[in-house]
Amino acid sequence: MDKIHEKILKTRLTRPIRLTIMFFLVGSFFVISPLLIAYSSGYRYDFVKHKIKQTGVLNIDILPKEAQVFLNGTELIQKIPFNLSLYPDTYLLTIKKDGYKTWEKNISINSKQTTYINYFSLLKDNIATFTELSNVQNIIGSNNSDNILLVTSITNNKYNVLNFNLKDNTIKTLENNIEIIDYSVSPFDNFAYIIKNENESKKLVLYDLNKPENYQTINDNILATIQWKNNDNRPLSTIIENKIVTIDKNANIKNLTTATSSNWYVEDNENVWFYNENTIFNNQKKYQLQNKISKIINLNKDRIIIKTLDDFLVYNLKTGQETKINGTNLFWNESNKDWIIYSNWDITTVQENGTINLQYRNGEKIKNLQLLDEGKIYIIQTENKIKAIDIDHYLQFPILDTTEGKIYINKKYRKLFYISNDEHKLYKLDL
């Protein structure tokens, strides 16, 4: 054994040395352990402000996943999705990718709270392209369908119905030279109907917009009101030969009850209600309202949404309270399970339990409103432009500088279609 190792083995740990080591280890435990606990709880020392702060969390989960994320101008190395602990403060968050519109906003990070930037996609920075289709009068489609129907004019009163496949951009003629009286799209599912006049009889043509070539024709003379139901097997109700009926997607008809009034409503469970100026009733219940009823929009166990002469009305079935909502149009938001009512300036939501929320107030008159991205981004058409509105973060993104008439949004394929005022040309824009 060499002398060095022999010397080490002969070294004795005296009592003072042992006490020093023990006190050092015990002291280190009582110092380091609280620091580790504080660190794991989100406490950090801010070397700029010389204060101990408890951090907040920034959560980012958006599309495309390859987008670059910048905080106060510095690119983050984390890949989407991610969580990032930050000191409580205000930060400039920038998300961008080539070919997309840049998303940028000052965000606040608060102690012990998570700030979510999620569930939306960056908008593509594209220009609209002509589809080579002209004389297009109407676009018929739901926001998640694989196909849209295009109504093109032949003469003043005759039209063709074309199927535009959004998967492969192919076009197929479904009907030729027909007289169209009316059409409607289900607010709930991928269905649409066209009422056509054939040999002096009004016939209903029901389309499944995922398989429109297999359309069904109801040959009974349809004269009464038609109601869409939130039922993918029996999507329609109407009156045929003085009977309130439901119609399934194969055009089979089921009788529900005799129509004792022309003012009626069928629930999704096929309970039938009738109403007059101020009263809604069936065999079991009766509700007396203060306001006059023009139409029942939707009814469930908690509330009734009603169209009045001028506005919309929510009647709470538990409290009897009536709340008027300024609005001219509405549509169903499947993502959040609520109704969206909009006027020239306001956007209001009505939840299934009857909760009402004024969601947004626009600075320009709203001509048309449609939904994109899980109920967080709207496409708004004003008198001068088409723009996207991020409701949660109050951001606006220009889409088109146009005053064209009719627009259609497909959320599934993230496409916007619009018809030009001149020659009724159909244009397409990828969002």
pLDDT tens digits, one per residue of 356-393: 999 988 888 999 999 887 667 899 998 888 898 888 87
Closest CA to 217 of 206, 209, 226: 206
Phi/psi at 427 (5° precision): -115, 155
Residue 50: the pLDDT is 59
Tokens for 180, please give them.
């169209």
What does the alpha-carbon distance between residue 346 and residue 326 come to, in Å, rounded to a whole number?
A: 8
Going by DSSP bridges, is the β-strand pair 56-63/114-121 parallel, antiparallel, or unpaired?
parallel
Residues 6+ apart with CB under 8 A from 329: 341, 342, 369
Q: How many CB atoms lie within 10 A of CB 359?
A: 17
pLDDT tens readout for residues 74-88: 999 999 999 998 888
**pLDDT for residue 423 is more than 90:** no
Name the percent of the chain lying above pLDDT 70: 88
Percent of the chain residues topping a pLDDT of 90: 54
Lowest model confidence (mean pLDDT) among 203-207, 281-285, 297-301, 393-397: 393-397
- What is the band of 403 on the pLDDT scale with cuts at 50, 70, 90? low
* pLDDT at 111 exceeding the cut of 90: no
Buried b (16+ CB within 10 A) or exposed e, 167-194: eeeeeeebbeebebeebebbbbbbbbbb
Read off the tokens for 197: 């006049």
* pLDDT (average), residues 280-308: 92
- pLDDT confidence tier of residue 332, bands split at 50, 70 and 90: very high
Of the two residues 341 and 269, the one the predictor is more confident about is 341
| pTM score | 0.81
pLDDT for position 400? 86
Asked if 321 and 362 touch (Cβ cutoff 8 Å), the reply is: no
pLDDT of amino acid 66: 94
pLDDT tens-place string over residues 220-237: 777 678 999 998 899 999
* Tens digits of residue pLDDT in 123-159: 899 888 999 999 999 999 998 999 999 999 887 789 9
Q: Say if CB 317 and CB 285 are below 8 A apart.
A: no
Q: What is the mean pLDDT of residues 385-410?
A: 83
The residue to which tokens 């005759």 are assigned: 158
Q: Is the dihedral of CA 26, 31, 32, 37 positive or negative?
A: positive
Mean pLDDT of 326-350: 93
- Token pair listed for 117: 């930037």
Min mean pLDDT across 43-47, 263-267, 289-293, 405-409 is at: 43-47
Give yes or no for residue 175 having a pLDDT over 70.
yes
Binning the chain into helix, strand and coil, the percentages to the nearest 5 are 10, 50, 40
Check pLDDT > 80 for residue 399: yes
pLDDT reading at 325 higher than 60: yes
Across all residues in the chain, what is the average pLDDT? 86
Give dist(CA 243, CA 194) in Å, integer. Answer: 21
Nearest to 67 by CA among 115, 123, 114: 123
**Residues near 314 by beta carbon (within 8 Å), at least 6 away in sequence:** 303, 304, 305, 306, 322, 323, 325, 350, 354, 356
Identity of residue 57: V
- What pLDDT, on the 0 to 100 scale, is given for residue 118? 84
Q: Note the pLDDT of residue 180.
A: 92
Residue 52 has pLDDT above 70, yes or no: no
- The first and second tokens of residue 9, run together, are 């083995």
Q: What is the pLDDT of residue 395?
A: 84
Q: What is the 3-state secondary structure (H, E, C) of 2-21?
A: CHHHHHHHHCCCCHHHHHHH
Q: What local confidence, expressed as pLDDT, does residue 92 receive?
A: 94
Question: Hey, how many other C-beta atoms are within 10 angstroms of the C-beta on 69?
Answer: 22
Higher pLDDT, 398 or 40: 398
